[in-house]
Amino acid sequence: MHGSVENAAGATQMTQQPMVRTFRAPDSAGAIAAVKAALGPEAVILSTRQVDGGLFRRPEVEITAALEPPALVPVAPMSPIRAYATATSGPAAASSPAATPAPALAPARPVDDPLHDEVRMLRRSVEEARRALASVTREARAGRELQLPPAAAEIHARLAGRGVEPALAESLVRSALEVATPLPAPLLAAVKDLLGERLVPCRAPWLHESRHVIAVVGPTGVGKTTTLAKIAARALLETRQRIAFVTLDTYRIGATEQLARYGEIMGAPVLVARDRGELEGALARASDADLVLVDTAGRSSPEDVARQAALVRTIPRVQLHLVVSAATGAYELAAVADRYRELAPDRLVVTKLDEAAGPGGILSAAARVQRPIACVADGQRVPEDLHALTGPALVDLVAGEDGGIP
């Protein structure tokens, strides 16, 4: 189909409509590679979005791209989106050469114009895709520079692309090479066996039959309070347990109110304790509860972390759960695990898997804390987005359901 553009002199120039196609791949790098292979390096990315696959099915990245064919008569070499982006990018747009009359641009649009927002989102998406592609390329190059066999280098690059620390990925692959041949299938099986040794599941925290006390610790913003609400809701729905909440979080504004709302919805008491005496009193008042859930404040300094953990440890037979966010990335997860390892947590809880660029980063925390993984969370819904995974499911979460081989 052809269209026409009338220039400033009134002459009509014939142009062709751009070719628009949609591509999907497991990650941004694969989707961009598909775009370049089909449309070439001059393709313009129109939109990028994440297609959710759920917890047990791999999500995909969908990219819509266009290739503008050359006009029958030369016109300004710029797509409509690029033209608008240039027109709204500031004074630099006015300095374009004037040798060939360009089509008249639309008047400047207000900041809240939907197209302006879409262009800004497209720029952000392209930049994120470029960063992802650069990251995968660096990791693949690192695999080759490590002088690994081809299958081992491919597994190393894939693990790193899924968020595993490069050093951990290298350690896994080299350990697997010691017990397996450097062929894809046996090497993959050995890597998954090693992952299984580090990613150990345990009984879901809401399935205990006798009276149980669970306390959560972890940095600010990882979702400790919401995780406790999810555990409580699962316990109410699946085992009909009587629930009580105790909060030690008197630092964060609104923390007590948030937990109180959950307690009101579930018909569970919410008790506040500021010191050891109040904690003992709260536990006595909750003596008829089957499951007592203790919330704590996220603290940053090692001294505050140790002081809070010491208070929690005064609770008889308490089980301490360290909550970490998968969205923070492997290196931050490693730092958090190192910070809380001295508290000797009993269990590990991983949250915000739905926000994680690479779920493999959870291996960093599991390898350092060396405690079973009680459950994982992949959303804000209470209690649907909380899951107790099996060992193979945890391995697939890190290595990919296909084992990490494209």
Q: Model confidence at 216, in pLDDT bands (50, 70, 90)?
A: very high
Q: Is the pLDDT of residue 83 over 60?
A: no
Amino acid found at 299: R
Per-residue pLDDT at 166 exceeds 80: yes
Q: How confident is the model at residue 376 (pLDDT cuts 50, 70, 90)?
A: very high
Predicted local confidence at residue 199, as pLDDT? 93
Domain range list for the chain: 2-92+104-126, 136-198, 212-388
Supply the pLDDT for residue 69: 55
The architecture of the domain spanning 212-388 is 3-Layer(aba) Sandwich (3.40)
Q: What is the pLDDT of residue 256?
A: 75
Whether the predicted pLDDT of 167 surpasses 50: yes
CA distance linking residue 43 with residue 235, whole number of Å: 52
The predicted structure's pLDDT at residue 389:
92
Identify the CA nearest to 125 among candidates 63, 187, 211.
Answer: 63
The encoded tokens of residue 386 equal 């909380």
Structure tokens at 397: 């979460």
DSSP string, 41-88: TT-EEEEEEEE---SSS--EEEEEEEEPPPPSS---S--HHHHHHHHT
**Residue 145's Cα: distance from chain center in Å?**
28
Which of 47-56, 240-249, 320-329 bottoms out in mean pLDDT, i.e. has the lowest? 47-56
Range in 25-29, 108-112, 385-389, 398-402 with the lowest mean pLDDT: 108-112
- Above 50 in pLDDT, residue 262? yes
Mean pLDDT to the nearest integer, 157-180 = 89
Neighbours of 115 (CB within 10 A): 14
Structure tokens at 339: 């910070």
- Angle in degrees, 0-180, between the axes of helices 114-145 and 28-39, rounded to the nearest 10: 100
% of the chain surpassing 90 pLDDT? 24
DSSP assignment of 195-253 equals HHHHS-B---TT--SS-EEEEEE--TTS-HHHHHHHHHHHHHHHT---EEEEE---SST
- Higher-scoring residue by pLDDT: 34, 377: 377
Instruction: Give the tokens for residue 37.
Output: 């292979």
Q: Which residue has the higher pLDDT, 289 or 56?
A: 289
Beta bridge partners of 348: 322, 373
pLDDT at 53 over 70: no
For 113-159, the pLDDT digits (tens) are 556 666 666 776 776 666 566 555 654 554 557 778 888 888 888 88
